[in-house]
């Protein structure tokens, strides 16, 4: 479950989507994403994530530090009740707040932009051994279908499967009352096919600081977790395991439905 710039395999995917009132940033959404990536391309590759965020920068990415099992602990909390159907370091150079930012996250070098068509001009900042060719057709797909979205291109070149630390980020969403998680599927370097179904096998987790007591399952967070990271995470979660075939698209769930015990549904890419 992912879009890649070239042939690749992704497994063990876990998604977290949450909503909270942060003391510094007010109402924000939080996305967690983790998988195991295997590069099947002849050279470097990249994983693409589109985010319904306003004005996102590298400061929106959270450093998990030694708490690299943060999403695994959430899965452990909900696993018995599942339903069937994956270290941030700023690299130091100056970059404009709303241009293309480049930084390291575990096995990835990440390019982050509000305009996918601006990404090729920043590609030279990616180390050569992880620098993929950006497919113009794929960039146009995102620019046309997801205008105003932040775009994260996570570059890698690992020959063997590598369990990456989770990507965790907060952002001011386009729609505060709808939680979404990127789940488009295409592993060939071409734009995703939006007709038919794709196989899925991953966890989707939900959290909200507005959830009443007893709403979900308590999470046994790492006691040594960094204070800043803990401030963006829920004390209780709901979740489910999706498997089988589903239409290609993202996961979405309204906040009202989340509190009422609803489950996420798949939504296709909007027609530009």
Which pTM does this prediction carry? 0.88
Domain count, the chain: 1
Does some domain include residue 84?
yes
Domain assignment present for residue 206? The answer is yes
| Range name among 7-11, 179-183, 249-253 with the lowest pLDDT average | 7-11
Residue 92's pLDDT is 33
> Using one digit for the tens of pLDDT, what is the confidence trace for 154-206?
888 765 446 578 899 999 999 999 999 999 988 777 888 877 788 888 899 99
pLDDT band at 93 (very low <50, low <70, confident <90, very high): very low
* Structural domain includes residue 272: no
Is 103 within a domain? yes
| pLDDT value, residue 163 | 59
Indicate the helix (H) or strand (E) that contains 141: helix 136-145
Q: Which pLDDT score is estimated for 133?
A: 86
DSSP-derived 3-state class of residue 162: strand
The confidence score (pLDDT) of residue 24 equals 94
**Local structure of 187: helix, strand or coil:** coil
In which domain, by residue range, is 239 found? 3-265
Q: Is 35 inside any structural domain?
A: yes
pLDDT at 60: 92
> What per-residue confidence (pLDDT) applies to 221?
96
Banded pLDDT at 134 (limits 50, 70, 90): confident
Query: Do residues 8 and 40 lie in contact, with contact meaning Cβ atoms separated by under 8 Å?
Result: yes
Place of tokens 């907060």: 170
Residues 6 or more apart in contact with residue 218 via CB below 8 angstroms? 77, 235, 236
The answer to whether residues 30 and 43 touch, using CB atoms and an 8 Å cutoff, is: no
Average pLDDT of the chain, as a whole number: 85
pLDDT > 80? residue 270: no
- In this prediction, residue 182 carries a pLDDT of 92
Answer whether residue 270 is part of any domain: no
More confident residue, 188 or 254: 254
Cα atoms in the 13 Å half-sphere on the side-chain side of 253:
27
Residue 56 reports pLDDT greater than 90: no
Distances (CA, A) of 44 to 151, 245, 259: 19, 29, 42
The two tokens of residue 20 are 């909270």
Q: 3-state DSSP call for residue 126?
A: coil
Whether 271 maps to a domain, the answer reads no
**Rg over CA atoms, the chain:** 17
pLDDT in the model for residue 189? 79
pLDDT at position 90 is: 31
Dump pLDDT digits (tens) for 196-243. 788 888 899 999 999 998 999 999 999 999 999 999 999 999 999 998
């Amino acid at each position: 479950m992912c879009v890649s710039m070239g042939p690749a395999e992704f497994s063990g995917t876990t998604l977290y989507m949450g909503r909270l009132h942060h003391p510094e940033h007010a109402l924000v959404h939080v996305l967690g994403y983790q998988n195991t990536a295997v590069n099947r391309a002849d050279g470097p590759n990249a994983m693409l994530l589109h985010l319904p965020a306003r004005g996102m920068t590298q400061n929106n990415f959270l450093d998990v530090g030694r708490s690299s099992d943060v999403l695994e602990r959430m899965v452990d909390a909900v696993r018995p009740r599942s339903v069937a159907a994956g270290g941030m370091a700023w690299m130091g150079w100056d970059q404009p707040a709303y241009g293309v930012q480049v930084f390291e996250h575990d096995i990835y070098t990440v390019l982050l932009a509000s305009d996918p068509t601006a990404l090729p001009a920043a590609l030279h900042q990616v180390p050569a051994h992880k620098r993929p060719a950006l497919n113009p057709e794929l960039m146009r797909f995102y620019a046309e279908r997801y205008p105003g979205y932040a775009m994260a291109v996570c570059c890698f070149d690992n020959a063997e499967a590598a369990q990456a630390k989770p990507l965790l980020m907060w952002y001011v969403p386009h729609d505060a009352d709808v939680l979404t998680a990127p789940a488009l599927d295409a592993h060939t370097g071409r734009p995703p096919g939006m007709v038919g179904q794709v196989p899925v096998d991953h966890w989707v987790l939900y959290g909200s600081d507005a959830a009443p007591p007893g709403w979900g399952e308590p999470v046994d967070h790492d006691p040594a977790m960094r204070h800043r990271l803990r401030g963006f995470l829920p004390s209780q979660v709901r979740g489910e395991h999706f498997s089988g075939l589903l239409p290609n698209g993202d996961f979405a769930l309204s906040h009202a439905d989340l509190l009422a015990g609803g489950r996420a549904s798949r939504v296709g890419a909007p027609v530009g």
